[in-house]
Structure 1
Amino acid sequence: MLEITKAGNHGILLPQLGIGLDYSGSKADHVFVSHGHADHIPWKVDAMVYATPPTKKFMELRGVKYEVQVLPFGETIETEAARITFYPAGHILGSAMTFVESEYGNLLYTGDYRTPPSPATEGFELPDTPIDSFITEATFSLPVYKWQGYDELKAEILNFARSALEEELHPRLSGLQSRKGTGDHASAERSWNIPIQIHGAGFKLCSVYDEEGIDLGNYESYDRDTCEGKILICPSSAISNGFASNVSRKRIAYCSGWAAMESRRSQLTVDKLIPISDHLDFFELIDLCEKLKPEMTYITHTPNPDVVKHYLDERNLASRFL
């Protein structure tokens, strides 16, 4: 049986194989990085590190100094103890699920993922083989988290921005974390050619999308002196830090999976909640587990695994919190 260990607050360790998954530490010989968000990048590592080409670019932009080996989707490398392949995870550009095959059985680690995939990604793909161990994030671990389709959400964002501009208010899309770039949210506004300004932390990441041939539309970096009359995209934390504070007539939409909770409206003092996420929703998670029927599902990256486990128990799917 394959031994799986949660490595403190950062990453997963497969000690029999000398493999780490989004792992910071000294107990792995090979570390595989699922995607380029800061909470999954190893910062203290003494191992060979592998990532997809876009993830490597994101890591370098975020300040990683160690060498990163490129492992494209669908290509397999062999270590002394295992075979490892990346599959598209549909979360952000370059995001990968890690499939590990060994004499102890196989394992699929999702990292953060989205199915159906986020539009500005390489898609979502599963290995064509039965899964023994399945390690899945469960960020949105309650039934209240159920998403509409992307076309509906895109229309909601467009309508929000258009109505604000018609009333001579400035639309601000907060909660689109700067770490994500802008993905489909920018391309949505491109259809009616209104310029977008993006918070600086996210703007620098957009270059990776451009290099990979993904059109993010008519966007530029946020400039306090020229931001009026433009759609502003920023993380929610930026609002309390003075982002565009010179713009008095504004309308703010909180765009995040967490917007499914009505309490966020008063907590964040926003005008509209739009539940859009680059993670899968609760029911998509349960459906995928039922489709895969792994021997064991390990639930991680979640505020509460109990409800997920309850739903899996009802389907006779073995699971545990990692």
Structure 2
Amino acid sequence: MLKITKTGNHGILLPDLGIGLDYSGPDAHFNFVSHGHADHIPWKVSGKVYATEPTKKFMRLRGKSYPVESLDFGIPIQTTDATVTLYPAGHILGSAMVFVESEEGNLLYTGDYRTPPSPATEGFELPVKPVDYFITEATFSLPVYKWAPHNQLQDQVTGFVKEALEADATPVFLAYNLGKAQELLYLMKDYDHPKQIHGAGYKLCQVYEDSGMSLGDYETYDRESCEGKILICPSSALSNGFASNVRKKKIAYCSGWAAMEARRSQLTVDKLIPLSDHLDFFELIRLCENLQPRKVLITHTPNPNVVQHYLTQRNIDAISLEAYAEAS
């Protein structure tokens, strides 16, 4: 039985192997960072830190000054007691799943992931070797969460822009500064209309461009010239004065949570577009069926019980990561 420790809300430790996964703390000799979102970046480390090159750049832009060694996808490295390989996770640029091979068993840690992958990523790939322990996020852990194909979501995005402009309104997309904002730019890169992105998101776009991921033509947000242009910003920016001088706006909320109609009144928006950088409920179940791990460990979820129930019905052993960690 591979010992796995869940360390509060930030990271996973494999104590017998000296390996940390998105782990903040002193007890890992080797730390692997899955991607550049703040809730997965370690705030304190004591051993070596590894990440893909884009993730390393995001970490630098987000103020992390400790040394980080870049790893390419599919190239294994040896630690003291294991072999570790990164695989593309399809979540945001540079996002990686971490595959750990050891005498105690093979473990695949997903971090956050999406399949089919976001088109603004390196894709999605699973290891070909058997997986004993599969640590999966289940952010969208109910059957209500089922995403439309990418081409349909792209049509929703460009259709919203067209409707807003025809109504003489400025189209505003509410989206996270890292990942979702760049995916929106990618989906609209052939749409010939000026685009502006929130300043914090604009800085992160350069990592995409440096990696060869063209996002089309765009510029940083400018209050004086933003009216009538396609605008992208996080939800919090609106309450801080983003585009408050624009006389007429139409607002689209882009998130997996947009699958819930209640979000429209909660956020006072005109359009809900369920564009997620996580996989939906059905893809999660399907992937577990295809992977056939010895045990599925469910984490990053409001409630693991529904996923566990569906997997158990399919004769797949599943448990919350917290419960497994307590038992081990």
Q: What TM-score do the two structures reach when normalised by structure 2?
A: 0.96
2:68 alignment partner AA:
V
> What corresponds to 1:268 in structure 2?
267
> What corresponds to 1:51 in structure 2?
51
**In structure 2, the residue corresponding to 1:308 is in which secondary structure?**
helix
> What corresponds to 1:182 in structure 2?
181
Gaps of 5+ in 2: 322-328
> What corresponds to 2:78 in structure 1?
78
> What corresponds to 1:92 in structure 2?
92
1:15 alignment partner AA:
P
1:4 alignment partner AA:
I
Tell me the matched-pair count: 321
> What corresponds to 1:163 in structure 2?
163
2:108 alignment partner AA:
L
TM-superposition CA deviations, 1:220-262 (whole Å, max 9, x none): 1111011011100011111122111001201001110000001
TM-superposition CA deviations, 1:257-304 (whole Å, max 9, x none): 000001100000001101011100000001001111100000001111
TM-superposition CA deviations, 1:161-188 (whole Å, max 9, x none): 11111111000001x1012263331122
**In structure 2, the residue corresponding to 1:46 is in which secondary structure?**
coil
**In structure 2, the residue corresponding to 1:299 is in which secondary structure?**
strand
**2:300 equivalent to 1:320:** no
2:160 alignment partner AA:
F
**2:27 equivalent to 1:27:** yes
Q: Is the 8 A contact 2:181 2:233 kept in 1?
A: no
Q: Is the 8 A contact 1:181 1:206 kept in 2?
A: no
> What corresponds to 2:118 in structure 1?
118
> How much has 1:29 moved relative to structure 2?
0.5
> What corresponds to 1:250 in structure 2?
249
> What corresponds to 1:240 in structure 2?
239
**In structure 1, the residue corresponding to 2:298 is in which secondary structure?**
strand
> What corresponds to 1:206 in structure 2?
205
Q: Is the 8 A contact 2:34 2:40 kept in 1?
A: yes
Take 1:199 and 1:307, find their aligned partners in 2: how far apart are those partners? 37
2:32 alignment partner AA:
F
> How much has 1:218 moved relative to structure 2?
1.2
* C-alpha distance 181-265 of structure 1, shift in aligned 2 (>3 A): closer
2:62 alignment partner AA:
R
1:310 alignment partner AA:
H
**In structure 1, the residue corresponding to 2:124 is in which secondary structure?**
coil
Gaps of 5+ in 1: none
Take 2:218 and 2:166, find their aligned partners in 1: how far apart are those partners? 20
**2:276 equivalent to 1:277:** yes
> What corresponds to 2:325 in structure 1?
none
**In structure 1, the residue corresponding to 2:40 is in which secondary structure?**
coil
Take 1:217 and 1:229, find their aligned partners in 2: how far apart are those partners? 18
TM-superposition CA deviations, 1:131-170 (whole Å, max 9, x none): 1000000010111110000100001110101111111100
> How much has 1:191 moved relative to structure 2?
1.9
1:253 alignment partner AA:
A
**In structure 1, the residue corresponding to 2:153 is in which secondary structure?**
helix
Greater CA drift, 231-240 or 249-258: 231-240
Take 2:79 and 2:56, find their aligned partners in 1: how far apart are those partners? 20
> How much has 1:192 moved relative to structure 2?
2.7
> How much has 1:195 moved relative to structure 2?
1.3
Take 1:240 and 1:305, find their aligned partners in 2: how far apart are those partners? 33
Q: What TM-score do the two structures reach when normalised by structure 1?
A: 0.98
Q: Is the 8 A contact 1:49 1:68 kept in 2?
A: yes
**In structure 2, the residue corresponding to 1:112 is in which secondary structure?**
coil
**In structure 2, the residue corresponding to 1:74 is in which secondary structure?**
coil
> How much has 1:129 moved relative to structure 2?
1.1
What is the aligned-residue identity percentage? Answer: 67
**2:23 equivalent to 1:10:** no
Q: Is the 8 A contact 1:34 1:51 kept in 2?
A: yes
Q: Is the 8 A contact 1:181 1:205 kept in 2?
A: no
Q: Is the 8 A contact 1:182 1:216 kept in 2?
A: no
**In structure 2, the residue corresponding to 1:252 is in which secondary structure?**
strand
> How much has 1:200 moved relative to structure 2?
1.2
> What corresponds to 1:286 in structure 2?
285
Q: Is the 8 A contact 1:119 1:183 kept in 2?
A: no
TM-superposition CA deviations, 1:175-222 (whole Å, max 9, x none): x10122633311222223111111111111000001011111111111
